[in-house]
Amino acid sequence: MNYQRFFEDAIDQLHAERRYRVFADLERIVGKFPRAIWRSNGRAQEITVWCSNDYLGMGQNPDVITAFQGVAGKMGSGAGGTRNISGTSNPLVELEHELADLHDKEAALVFTSGFVSNEASISTIAKLLPNCLIISDELNHASMIEGVRRSGAEKK
């Protein structure tokens, strides 16, 4: 088998089906939320990004930026690995304690994204509930559909 040709054909098929993903090259602009610079084909253009998940603009908040710079200067940047392998950064532990306290709960767990949160929560809870039946359809968010699928629970 010619593996090179096999994978080139697979990529060509994605292009033909218009499913080949090209990620947007964006540069956020401090102080101009939700504006950003979009770079494509050698051009740069200012755009408005309505899907940043930075709903409150906290990624642009001067206090948040200063705190981030302080922690990065002290601890470096980057996760350094998954928390189950290399441990959890203390600021994340403190955030989870604060969130639990804020909501009067025993503990809190921060996920990397809403997708991961939905998928993990639905699959875990549905696995634990005996005789769990999940009512779901194809119009649910992909994260919910994946959680249902991974749960192994009956679905209608």
Q: What is the pTM of this model?
A: 0.67
Could you tell me the two tokens for 117?
A: 């949160």
Could you tell me the two tokens for 105?
A: 């709960």
What is the helix (H) or strand (E) element at residue 99, kind and residue range?
A: helix 90-102
Tens-digit pLDDT profile for residues 23-41: 999 999 888 888 999 999 9
Block means of pLDDT (10 residues each) for the chain, 156 residues, are 94 96 92 92 94 84 92 86 86 95 96 93 95 94 96 94
Hey, what domains does the chain have and what are their CATH numbers?
1-61 (3.90.1150.10), 89-156 (no CATH)
112-121 long-range CB contacts below 8 Å, 24 or more apart? 114/53, 114/143, 115/141, 115/142, 115/143, 116/143, 117/143, 118/143, 118/144, 118/147, 119/143, 119/144, 119/146, 119/147, 119/150, 120/147, 121/147
CA 42 vs CA 21, 45, 91, 114: distances in Å: 19, 10, 39, 33
